[in-house]
Amino acid sequence: MLELKDIVVSFKKEVQKKIFGTERKTVLHGISLAVRKGESLGILGESGSGKSTTGRVLAGLLKPDSGVVLIEGEDVYAGSKGREHLRNRLSIVFQDYTTSANPRFTIRQVIGEGIAVGARKTGEKIDYAEETARLLRLVGLDESFAKRFPHELSGGQLQRVCIARAIVCRSELILFDEAVSSLDAHTQVQIMDLLLDLKEKLGLTYIFITHDLTSITYFCSRVIFLKDGSVVADSPVSELSKLDVPYAKELLGAVLDFNAESA
Ligand SMILES: Nc1ncnc2c1ncn2[C@@H]1O[C@H](COP(=O)(O)OP(=O)(O)OP(=O)(O)O)[C@@H](O)[C@H]1O
Ligand SMILES: [Mg+2]
């Protein structure tokens, strides 16, 4: 459905060398991966390994130095058509949900923006009040939340609103960048259960970026390990224990030790 081929990304280094020009630091060294329709793909790696950069390239927000991004075979960065195609398919839910909703908007308006995007795509006539109430219920919030402002919601509640907005845009593909990482464990599980439920109901595809393997084993069907800007492993979650990659084993080992301790 969505594919990365040999993606290379570099950024300017802050220190500029006068004689040799500007030095660049390569952060993605030829990343290739494919997102299949209907799957829940985890992208895992430690801080600085290039997960968010990969996410931005996947989402059409960052043009790579070289390599190709294809949405259903169409090149995302070759022209406006491919990018438009991707925008129509994909929504993003970021880690920092507190800044991803306009603080001056009520929840009704935040969701209303998404409804407008969805309505433009499908050409349907939508009753905004009814649709807002339906969506709030869908993500497990009371309708009365519609008149509140973002700062009047807890982190978990606001993240649910962001998920509702992503869904109402009629995107089939949702990219989550550490979207549940800062929530407490109980709320994380609630939101992941909600997402799994919505995925079933609406036939969605997920890309789930995180540094937390536990949530990947709970949530994803396949996982890609990133290390220093390269893919070091790509495995179905059910076959993780068979992986013969030192870095993946290290991460897995840490989780297994932790589980053994807490058992
Ligand atoms: N706009 C930018 N300009 C310069 N360097 C950047 C920029 N964005 C990212 N980097 C660098 O690219 C590397 C990868 O960053 P990235 O944000 O993709 O990592 P990450 O895996 O998402 O980390 P984290 O788990 O901490 O979110 C880092 O070394 C980072 O400093
Ligand atoms: Mg990141």
Mean pLDDT by 10 residues, the chain (263 residues): 96 68 86 96 93 94 95 92 90 76 89 88 85 88 93 88 85 90 82 88 92 89 94 91 79 63 55
Q: Report every protein residue that has its C-beta within 5 angstroms of ion ligand 2.
A: 52
Sequence-distant (≥ 6) Cβ neighbours of residue 212 within 8 angstroms: 44, 181
Residue 53 CA to residue 58 CA, distance in Å, equals 9
Helix/strand/coil for 163? helix
30 exposed, middle or buried (CB, 10 Å; 0-12, 13-18, 19+)? middle
DSSP secondary structure code for residue 146 in this structure? G
User: Could you give the maximum distance between any two Cα atoms of the chain, in Å?
Assistant: 63
Tokens of 56: 């931005």
- Residues 195-218 have pLDDT tens digits of 898 899 889 999 999 988 888 988
pLDDT value at position 257? 61
pLDDT value at position 251? 74
pLDDT value at position 23? 78
**Residue of 186, 246, 245, 259 lying closest to 217 (CA atoms):** 259
Query: What domains does the chain contain, in order, with CATH numbers?
Result: 2-262 (3.40.50.300)
- Residues 103-149 have pLDDT tens digits of 889 999 999 988 988 888 778 888 999 999 988 988 889 999 999 99
Q: Does 11 contact ligand 1 (Cβ within 6 A)?
A: yes
Instruction: Give the phi and the psi of residue 239 in degrees, each rounded to 5.
Output: -110, 20
Nearest-atom number in ligand 1 for the CA of 226 is 21
Q: Compute, in angstroms, the gap from residue 48 CA to the centroid of ligand 1.
A: 5
Helix/strand/coil for 246? helix
Q: Compute, in angstroms, the gap from residue 53 CA to the centroid of ligand 1.
A: 6
